[in-house]
Chain A
Amino acid sequence: EAGVAQSPRYKIIEKRQSVAFWCNPISGHATLYWYQQILGQGPKLLIQFQNNGVVDDSQLPKDRFSAERLKGVDSTLKIQPAKLEDSAVYLCASSSDRERYEQYFGPGTRLTVT
């Protein structure tokens, strides 16, 4: 079984530029999560999808962050414009309906904003 795929693995941009991250969850997993992990901290949930719909986006800075999950499969997270404090690892995870609490994580995208 293929795991959660993410790309790119690394990205360096200047502040005020835009960036997008892509995630392909495990096949058949209905729930998809995006987390932000700042150096030295645990992952913080940004947004959670159940199929196409948003379950929780309470911690997503909506003035600059957006996310979509078209057709209930792949997902894209965008930041526009980026700030220095957005430097972090962005983790995507997915889980099945049968065991929603058991999350499988991708390798993450390390973003550096200069």
Chain B
Amino acid sequence: AQSVTQLGSHVSVSEGALVLLRCNYSSSVPPYLFWYVQYPNQGLQLLLKYTSAATLVKGINGFEAEFKKSETSFHLTKPSAHMSDAAEYFCAVSDTGGFKTIFGAGTRLFVKA
């Protein structure tokens, strides 16, 4: 069985500060891992994905995430927050066949001016 835990339902940072959103997963098979972003009244948009290649994954809008098997983590980071980054972020895990994707509960990111 697979599961995802996102630590912190809300994260607040100042504009220009480091963004760190935490995600831990559980999987009985080698996982594929994803981060999605959701803006108000919109669907989810894929930010980045880990599919067993490089452990440091770069995505859109300056975000990146590092797969750490020993820690079963896939934390999302961005060196400098922008006001436009304010949104809900979801971590997700699927099996390598992509047949079943499990989403975390989400973390809402607030960016202060």
Contacts and interface: CB of A to CB of B under 8 A. Distances in A.
Interface of A: 4, 40-45, 48, 55-56, 91, 93, 95, 99-108, 110
Given A42-B105, A107-B43, 10 more contacts: A4-B43, A40-B105, A44-B103, A48-B100, A56-B99, A93-B44, A103-B46, A103-B101, A105-B44, A106-B43
Contacts of B104: 42
Contacts of A101: 32, 34, 49, 51, 94, 97-98, 101
A100 B100 contact: no
B106 A41 contact: yes
Contacts of B51: 101
B95 to A, nearest CB: 9
Contacts of A4: 43
Contact of A41 (B32, B46, B49, B105): B105
A59 B4 CA distance: 17
16 contacts: A4-B43, A40-B106, A42-B90, A42-B104, A42-B106, A43-B103, A45-B100, A100-B97, A101-B34, A101-B51, A101-B98, A102-B46, A102-B49, A107-B43, A108-B42, A108-B43
A2 to B, nearest CB: 14
B45 interface: yes
